[in-house]
Amino acid sequence: MNKTPRVCVWHVQGDTYRDALRERLPDAPIEAINAATHETGEAVLSAPDSRPGADHAASLIADALSSAEILLAWKVPPGTLTNMSALRWVQVTGAGVDHFLESTELPATVLVTRSLGRFGIQISEYVVGYLLHHLIGINTYREKQRSHEWARNERPLLADRTVGIIGLGSLGLPTATALTTLGARVLGVRHSGLAVPGIDDVFSATSWRNMLPACDALVIAAPKTVETVGMIDHGALDALPEGTILINISRGELIDEDALLEALESGHLGAAVLDVFDTEPLPEDHPLWDQSRAWITPHIAAPSEIEVIADEFANNYRRYVAGDPLLNAVDRGRGY
Ligand code: GLV
């Protein structure tokens, strides 16, 4: 085992990540490549000031890639991994690793780890925030304020509601805990269907549709895998009670977008709070933008915090050098 394996950071905030890692791992050789966007990961070809332009930058990138044993990245564009012949381990800066696992360029022997960040807390705040916003009717009161209208609406309580959560892992579980603390009845779905303390009823990969008729709100927090893509289809949406609030913080592909649009247009769904989409950024002319029951956020439900991710990565790097098992390793067969 090389005692100082080379690291390549590839990220929109590549330089900041590199500096945070160098503070934590002063002896590790770490190079950074800055990406232009989160969505494609396309590299910015910028060379240090004193060096000549793009050609030089391209050769620096090629060197950083070919010598790196370890990659820390959110997303890299196609063609990148094929230039990383020394690669042994990828740590993804986010929770979902689907885009790496789907790449035909990632050799089967390369280890993949994901980050935990504070994603569980962030997601739980996002979900609770949007649920309370809808139940209290914050938006309606804001509108009434504009017309100086003193008018009361019904005030349903979260404590009287049932929330179904698909995916009871590091994102879904903290959300479940937050909701039960507020008195909501929580149902959940996990692959095995095995019980989870504090959750009223847990459904499995085969029985999950039975949960839907009981849900006043449905939260999608499962990873994107071959099993989960398209799972929220016409049938699943129809099985939800009229007026259900759907919240997706996982991946757009888990929901059939056409079926979703229909369910919103007909009013069968009360609202859809959507942080993720089939295509990101959501195209400017996408019908979801103008759908009044859709609440759109630009994939911000759980942002990666550099200091937190750098701590996690440094810890795993030390384990890697020591030959210890890495934390948050992904089972590539299972897909998460
Ligand atoms: C964000 O989508 C993540 O997977 O962390």
141-199 confidence digits (pLDDT tens): 999 999 999 999 999 999 999 999 999 999 999 999 999 999 999 999 999 999 999 99
Residue 46 reports pLDDT greater than 80 = no
Q: What is the CATH number of domain 7-117+305-322?
A: 3.40.50.720
Tell me, what's the pLDDT at 54?
65
User: Shortest CA distance to 24 belongs to which of 43, 7, 48?
Assistant: 7
Residue 114 reports pLDDT greater than 70 = yes
Residue 59 reports pLDDT greater than 90 = no
The top-scoring range by mean pLDDT among 25-39, 53-67, 223-237 is 223-237
Question: Would you identify the CATH topology of the domain 119-296?
Answer: Rossmann fold (3.40.50)
CATH 3.40.50.720-classified regions of the chain? 7-117+305-322, 119-296
**One-letter amino acid identity for 318?**
R
For ligand 1, atom 5: residue with the closest CA? 94
Tell me, what's the pLDDT at 53?
60
**Is 75:95 a contact under the CB 8 Å cutoff?**
no
Of the chain, the percentage scoring pLDDT greater than 90 comes to 91
Distances (CA, A) of 5 to 20, 319, 320: 17, 12, 9
| Residue 96 Cα to ligand 1 middle (Å) | 5
Residue 284's contacts (CB-CB under 8 Å, 6 or more residues apart) are none
**Is 19:41 a contact under the CB 8 Å cutoff?**
no
Task: Kindly report the backbone phi and psi dihedral angles of residue 11, in degrees, each rounded to the nearest multiple of 5, phi listed first.
Answer: -165, 160
Query: What's this model's pTM, rounded to 2 decimal places?
Result: 0.95
**Is 309:73 a contact under the CB 8 Å cutoff?**
no
Tell me, what's the pLDDT at 234?
98
Atom of ligand 1 nearest to the CA of 299: 2
H helix intervals, 137-189: 138-146, 172-181
Instruction: Check if 123 has its Cβ closer than 6 Å to any atom of ligand 1.
Output: no
Residue 48 reports pLDDT greater than 90 = no
